[in-house]
Amino acid sequence: MTSFPKTLVLSALVALGGSFAHADNNAPIRLIVGFPPGGALDNLARSVAEDLRTALKEPVLVENRPGASTRISIEAVKTARPDGRTILIGATPPFVFFPMTYARLNYDVDKDFIPVAHLANVPSVVSTGAGQPYRTVPEYVAWIRKNPGQASVGMTNLGGGLHFSVLQLSKAIGVPLTAVTYRGGAPLATDIIGDHVPVGTDALASQLELHRSGKLRILGVAGTKRLSWLPDVPTIKESGYDAFDRANAAYAAFVPAGTPKDVVAKLESAFLAAIRNPRVRGQLDHMGLEPTGLPGAEVTRVMNEDREYWRPIVKASGFKSED
């Protein structure tokens, strides 16, 4: 009887075990989110996950992988097996802006991912403390021109649509506005309420209830149309400045490149059905998100349009991301 070295036997067993692991479809589907629990994107993922469990008849878990401006979560999905069981629930700005602002990325936004579904639009606003002397964007502009030493603007990150919108507004009003970054929407809102920063810009989801309770005041909304939650608040465009016309982001689902077309189609159908669910739509509306439920092709179209719009603005700014 032939004798084999123990190391070879062990290697064979490990390889055999690995092959079974790769063939195991009993692992849960993972929705990867690049933010800590409790935020708007995390809540969206958890709301959708409940429907996916029923539609796909599979366990679906939300896995939070925050850090590095969501690049950790993006890279985790890029390197996952392309079998439809690891799905990024992410915002579109990292796919639009990062290739323009980072000298090097560990992924190619066009080659490494397949958009599955457009889930929601993310309205953004410009707000101030309830006790500040200006109640509209034009009143703020008049005030900041008289007080240029207080031209700081709070935001949660640099290198995104809101940051470049602020730079555009700065150019339009002739006052050098200075970005002040915060680690999240909650600390930013706290400083707006406390008048520690004259104005701030963030997703509506972080500020809607604070506006309704009178703790802060939303001066204007981004985009080109008013929001159903705030019918009396004008767009910043209506106030005379088009700097925020394309500042809003979107939330979407992505899978790794190489995922079979039939798997992508099945996931797309499940996500669109989840967004059509009145329960999910109600939860998103309560959070200040606009549910969409559009095919993955729409994600590609929107991101391409955003890139064309922002590319010359980003280039002219000279901004480069360093984190």
What pLDDT, in 10s, does the model give residues 284-318?
Answer: 999 999 999 999 999 999 999 999 999 999 999 99
Question: Does the CA dihedral 250-253-258-262 come out positive or negative?
Answer: negative
The closest alpha carbon to 196, from 218, 180, 177, 173, belongs to 180
pLDDT at 22: 41
* pLDDT > 70 fraction of the chain, expressed in percent and rounded: 92
Helix axes 278-287, 261-276, angle to 10 degrees: 70
Gap between the Cα atoms of 308 and 91, Å rounded: 18
Is the CATH code 3.40.718.10 the one for domain 27-121+248-317? no
Those residues with Cβ within 8 angstroms of residue 272's Cβ, 6 or more apart along the chain or in another chain: 117, 293, 294, 295
Fold of 124-221: D-Maltodextrin-Binding Protein; domain 2 (3.40.190)
**Residue-range domain boundaries for the chain:** 27-121+248-317, 124-221
pLDDT at 36: 86
Is the pLDDT at 44 greater than 50, yes or no? Answer: yes
pLDDT digits (tens, 9 = 90+) for 106-123: 999 999 999 999 999 999
Helix axes 161-173, 296-317, angle to 10 degrees: 40
Gap between the Cα atoms of 239 and 241, Å rounded: 6
pLDDT digits (tens, 9 = 90+) for 159-209: 999 999 999 999 999 999 999 998 888 899 999 999 999 999 999 999 999
Gap between the Cα atoms of 177 and 82, Å rounded: 44
Same fold, 27-121+248-317 and 124-221: yes
Give the pLDDT mean for 20-45. Answer: 80
